[in-house]
Structure 1
Amino acid sequence: MMVPAVLSAGCGSGSVKSGAAGTGSGVPPTAWAKSVCTALSPWRARLASLTGSTQAQLTSTTTPAQAKQNLVDLLGGAESASEAARQKIADAGTPAVDKGGEIAARFVASLQAARDAYAHARSTVAGLDTGNASTFYTAVASAFDKLQHEYAASALDTDKLSSAPLRQAFNEVPECR
């Protein structure tokens, strides 16, 4: 499973509960993995829906001003969905595994980076001049290229987690399939 991630421990406005240096405190790995995947499922579905809508918007006949408003709305939706998922992950607590606090913080930071990438793209598109269609669509393509780069730069592969119990939990919990 790939999750957008920045490998820093910044947690944004939500907080990840600390502790869980060993397995004696925190959330059991299977419960934490279930919470994470349950939070990510609607987020992924929303992003897929927004991606489909964006493609439809860009291929339909609209004015640059209409396209701009539609794209700003779509990017704002992705930003909001990413923040909602980030908050749910922060609320999931800390897995009761070695370096559980660091791992939880990486997941939160991952979604924070995704949220910020969508916010940057939304802000860029919102500031574009629609007077010249060719210039506008070239700038939109550039904004989406930057979004894709920022989003890809934040990828966290759960298959490479430093915690064997969490890797196992992500592989076994039905919500993660």
Structure 2
Amino acid sequence: MRTCRTSTAGKLTVVLATLAVLAGCGGGPSPRAWAASVCGALTPWRSEISKLTSSTDEQMTAQTTPAQAKENLVRLFGGAEQASETARRKVEQAGVPETENGEAIASGFRDSLGKMRDAYGRARDTIDGLGTGEATVFYGGVRAAVETLNKEYDASALDTSQLNSEELKKAFDEVPECR
């Protein structure tokens, strides 16, 4: 009798171990589910970045004091930094799509958003460090910070041509969240 119990327990252990291994090896979201999650994270992010970009442009041309412009720009770039981090976290929470090169693709999205977040943070810190005593010098510093931001932002953009998964390309084209 003892042998039967040990045998049954041993079989159960093997089954559970096999399930644990299988769960660790796969089980990521389908390409469609992953694309929907990623687009669900990126759609509000894009909207927020667009709104913040418009507000930044307005600040650059508004008739405000350098101190007011500094306060507004620091807040705007801080908002863009936070929006980028929120999107990055949501993409991270989406997991790894169950597709060829899924980890590399998911990592590419996360890394790109992290670099954008960092670029906004550096722009915020640069502008926060500018003196406001002389308007010409302040706005020159702002322009330089924005030029650097634009270069860093462009350099951090995800190269979607490297999405080597036909399943994901199709999913991004088809899911409603990505339209």
TM bin, normalised by shorter chain, reads: 0.7 to 0.9
Q: Does residue 1:73 correspond to 2:72, yes or no?
A: no
What is the Cα deviation at residue 158 of structure 1? 2.7
CA distance in 1, matches of 2:27, 2:91: 18
Would you say how many aligned residue pairs link Structure 1 and Structure 2? Answer: 156
TM-score by length of 1: 0.85
The residue aligned with 1:111 is 113
CA distance in 2, matches of 1:51, 1:137: 17
Flag structure 2 segments of 5+ consecutive residues without an equivalent: 1-23
Flag structure 1 segments of 5+ consecutive residues without an equivalent: 1-18
What is the Cα deviation at residue 99 of structure 1? 1.6
1:128 is matched by which residue type in structure 2? L
Q: Which deviates more, 154-163 or 61-70?
A: 154-163
What is the Cα deviation at residue 76 of structure 1? 0.2
| Percent identical | 56
String of CA shifts for 1:151-172, please: whole Å, max 9, x gaps.
0001113344011111111111
2:137 is matched by which residue type in structure 1? T
The residue aligned with 2:165 is 163
CA distance in 2, matches of 1:43, 1:142: 25
In terms of fraction of residues, the more helix-rich structure is 2
TM-score by length of 2: 0.84
What is the Cα deviation at residue 25 of structure 1? 3.0
2:105 is matched by which residue type in structure 1? I
1:148 is matched by which residue type in structure 2? N
String of CA shifts for 1:120-149, please: whole Å, max 9, x gaps.
000000000111110110110000000000
String of CA shifts for 1:72-125, please: whole Å, max 9, x gaps.
000000000000000000000110001211111111101000100000000000
Q: Which has the higher contact order (CA 8 A, sep 6+)?
A: 1
The residue aligned with 1:52 is 54
The residue aligned with 1:62 is 64
Kindly report the root-mean-square deviation, in angstroms, between the aligned alpha carbons of the 2 structures: 1.2
Which ranges of 4 or more aligned residues in structure 1 deviate by more than 2 Å?
Answer: 157-160
The residue aligned with 1:38 is 40
The residue aligned with 1:85 is 87
2:90 is matched by which residue type in structure 1? K
Q: Does residue 1:144 correspond to 2:146, yes or no?
A: yes
CA distance in 1, matches of 2:35, 2:89: 15
